[in-house]
Chain A
């Protein structure tokens, strides 16, 4: 009896268990526990571990970049019985998520202090969410995918509602919780359908492990017309569309982006969306690739609707956080264009283009959200375009950062955003997706209007208090921002400009 059970367990134990392969994620988790304990035993008035957390995330991010270039291009290794696959790309994605975690904790330090909200728990949640995202970059298995996605989502529920005394933050929290819960349910239902179909020994090519991407791909290839396979694939895509805020699932974006604390909005808009795209790319070029004939028109239609909705909805927007959210929907549309091209051509370079676009989006978005968190005032309420009036005169440094980043998002030539958009359009043209590229071009033209409208307000519209300043009744208040925040914002803007001139390292 005992030997029989032992035999079963030996066969169940995943091959290639190598905990060192996920050492960065474990380190993040352990550090989160340490921060929590330190906060519990902290004497009132003494400093927490916030600064260390920020430095820790930055160092880890740089370490991952260094590791990535130690791995030879094209090589990949599997761990935990194929649940995890690591390559140079996944290592760079890890660095991407760590870097966005670093920027979020940095912005959090600026904003949470102003609002008098504790920071330790914020850092813990960011650390845990980042660990989940880093795992997501490497998963090749639906169970681990769901667990890592939920690690991220549950941390995000708390983070969105983090400002407990603000009704709009709580409202955003409950809206995100209910809608994200629904999307997780859809995703899980899809996984269950695929599992049920692929585990069915009556069908050809039944899998021994129906969660593994590799085995599912073979099974789906052999059962393309099966209703369970099609339904499961559709539900899985629905769950992922929610994460990237593609069109039928974009309703939550406005309220959640507006209500969440600014650093969390940035994290939601960049890291969470990037995770959605990494998963989408891995799923549609992995297990679901045999369904290309059905999925390509579907994804193209979603991309077209997403580009149109995002850009048209952002046109009349006065709230800057909503504007970033709605224009983020449009960016998701451009990225979907790259995903469609990757699926149509079945080659890797459109995927590299998608990841490059995500990185330029990270640089520009975090710079803009950084400017926002400096400008937003004591209670994070100064979020309308009017609050940016006369920014160039009040603080030309912040104005300059805003100009570079908005230019990058709009795709104006010297900035990285232009090159990134160019790659995606080239990908769409190479894949003969002409309609998609045409709608994309239309979207870019529309987006220039609202991005430059923001710049127009910052440069040409006189500041509210300007008359009083000239009358001598009020001093032009210098906008307070820390030295480190300014350094980091400058670095982000510099990288944005440099990447616009040099992208030679990309193996396109």
Chain B
């Protein structure tokens, strides 16, 4: 079906190298920071606080922030992927028609599914910036 070049196990060498590199970097950085990092002389509950002078912290160290940023990012990815899918279909549209493969209806169905999602989002007020 799809013609592949003859491969031997050796052709996967770069993949193995990448796996080894990924593990080495992850493990190596943790090890290095343990070896070279600052030593805490005596472990106590204050060792992990930002200010070790004993001042009690005020407020939550992990402040909450609006999720609108995530929403925008997610919507962007969704519609970005939509375009990514549409583009190859547009380039081979004539060839598919010549091969007798119906293409317009599946593409429109794909768009309709995404459209339903968009309508749902708008109606649920996910795109309202104020007054939430």
Contacts and interface: CB of A to CB of B under 8 A. Distances in A.
A201 B119 CA distance: 49
Contact of B99 (A6, A41, A227): A6
A201 B11 CA distance: 13
A201 B6 contact: yes
Contact of A200 (B8, B92, B99): B8
Nearest to A9: B99
Interface string B1-30: 110101111001000000000000000000
Given A5-B92, A36-B120, A37-B116, A200 B98 contact: no
Nearest to A207: B1
A295 to B, nearest CB: 22
Contacts of A8: 95
B110 to A, nearest CB: 12
A208 B94 CA distance: 27
Given A41-B123, A228-B9, A2 B4 contact: no
Interface size, A (range): 20 to 34
A506 to B, nearest CB: 40
B73 interface: no
A37 B112 CA distance: 12
Nearest to A4: B95
B36 interface: no
Contacts of A10: 99-101
A12 B1 contact: yes
Nearest to A192: B15
Q: Which of B4, B12, B117 has the most CB of A within 10 A?
A: B4
A474 to B, nearest CB: 40
Interface in A1-47: 2-3, 5-13, 33, 36-37, 39-41
A39 B96 CA distance: 37
Nearest to B3: A201
B101 A200 contact: no
A196 interface: yes
A37 B1 contact: no
B126 to A, nearest CB: 11
A3 B9 contact: no
Contacts of A11: 1
A39 B101 CA distance: 36
Nearest to B122: A40
A507 interface: no
B132 interface: no
A210 to B, nearest CB: 9
B123 to A, nearest CB: 4
Contact of A40 (B2, B7, B123): B123
A3 B95 CA distance: 7
Contact of B95 (A2, A36, A199): A2
- Residue picked from B94, B98, B119, most chain A C-beta under 10 Å: B98
B40 interface: no
A70 interface: no
A9 B1 contact: no
A6 B120 contact: no
B6 A37 contact: no
A209 interface: yes
A2 B7 contact: no
A59 B79 CA distance: 36
A5 B95 CA distance: 6
Contacts of A209: 1
Contacts of A33: 113, 116
Contacts of A41: 123
Given A2-B94, A199-B4, A228-B9, A9 B120 contact: no
Contact of B9 (A201, A208, A227): A227
B116 A36 contact: yes
Contacts of B124: 40
A227 B7 CA distance: 14
B1 A196 contact: no
Contacts of B117: 36
Interface in B98-120: 98-101, 113, 116-117, 119-120
Contact of A9 (B2, B9, B101, B123): B101
A156 to B, nearest CB: 18
Kindly name the residue among B94, B99, B122 whose own CB sees the greatest number of chain A CB atoms within 10 A.
Answer: B99
Given A5-B95, A7-B99, A39 B120 contact: yes
Contacts of A480: none
A5 B98 contact: yes
Most chain A CB within 10 A, of B2, B92, B113, is at B2
A208 B2 CA distance: 7
Contacts of B9: 227-228
A191 to B, nearest CB: 14
B8 A9 contact: no
B2 to A, nearest CB: 8
11 contacts: A5-B98, A9-B92, A9-B95, A9-B99, A10-B100, A12-B1, A33-B116, A40-B119, A40-B123, A199-B7, A201-B4
Interface of B: 1-2, 4, 6-9, 12, 92, 94-96, 98-101, 113, 116-117, 119-120, 122-124
Interface of A: 2-3, 5-13, 33, 36-37, 39-41, 196, 199-202, 208-209, 227-228
Smallest CB-CB A-B distances: 7 pairs: A40-B123, A5-B95, A6-B98, A9-B99, A6-B99, A40-B120, A10-B99
